[in-house]
Chain A
Amino acid sequence: KAGVTQTPRYLIKTRGQQVTLSCSPISGHRSVSWYQQTPGQGLQFLFEYFSETQRNKGNFPGRFSGRQFSNSRSEMNVSTLELGDSALYLCASSATGDDGNTIYFGEGSWLTVV
């Protein structure tokens, strides 16, 4: 069974640009969540989607957005990039996202903003 797939793996963007990251969950998983990982802040929750609906959102500015498609694939977008957005963006999938569901991470997308 294929794991969580994230693309692209690495990217460099300039301040002010926008970026879209993609995530394909494990087959059969309908919940997709996104986390930002930085050395200083650790793993921070961005948002979670289930059946194309955002069920929760973390404490990030509105520049961070996401969506989920009918096939459970998900994308996240960051607009007007800032230097501080440089991070590893991790996508995780679980069967339903409900309490006690294990989440499985992808390898992440490394974003560098210059």
Chain B
Amino acid sequence: DTAVSQTPKYLVTQMGNDKSIKCEQNLGHDTMYWYKQDSKKFLKIMFSYNNKELIINETVPNRFSPKSPDKAHLNLHINSLELGDSAVYFCASSQVDRANEKLFFGSGTQLSVL
């Protein structure tokens, strides 16, 4: 069983389109995240959700909106896609109250905007 799964693996789309990436975790964690990895391989936090409440939003354009229907899911919806949105997007989860904090990542969604 995959701990953190995200779909699709690859997403190719035209500028201006709206798309969603889905993420599910079966670890029972209470916090989920979206990270963006750019062409230089830097991973940058976009959002995190803890018990359905948004607790981070790091200067991300409001075209990006996270949706969490329940504790196990955190989807990412992107409106009016732009060329600069092309990147690999990773979903992750963690348990807030554990001392040995570690993130569990999904395998990534490679988004290409043409």
Say whether A associates with B. Answer: no
